[in-house]
Amino acid sequence: MEMYVKGRTIETMASKTERLSLRLTPHQDAVLRRAAEARGESANDFVLRHAVEAAEMELADRRAFVADDDAWTELQEMLSREPALPPAMIKLLSNPSVLEQPS
Q: Could you give the CA distance from residue 69 to residue 79 in angstroms, rounded to a whole number?
A: 15
Q: Is the dihedral of CA 67, 70, 73, 74 positive or negative?
A: negative
How far does CA 22 lie from the centroid of its chain? 24
Domain residue ranges of the chain, discontinuous segments joined by +: 2-14+21-83
The pTM is what?
A: 0.51
Query: Which distant-in-sequence residues (6+ apart) come within 8 Å of 39 by Cβ?
Result: 46
Share above pLDDT 70 across residues of the chain, in percent, rounded to a whole number:
86
Phi, psi of 54 (to 5 degrees): -65, -40
Taking the CA atoms of the chain, what radius of gyration do you get in angstroms? 23
pLDDT in tens, 18-56: 999 999 999 999 999 999 999 999 999 999 999 999 999
Read off the pLDDT of each residue in 91-99 and give the average, rounded to a whole number: 86
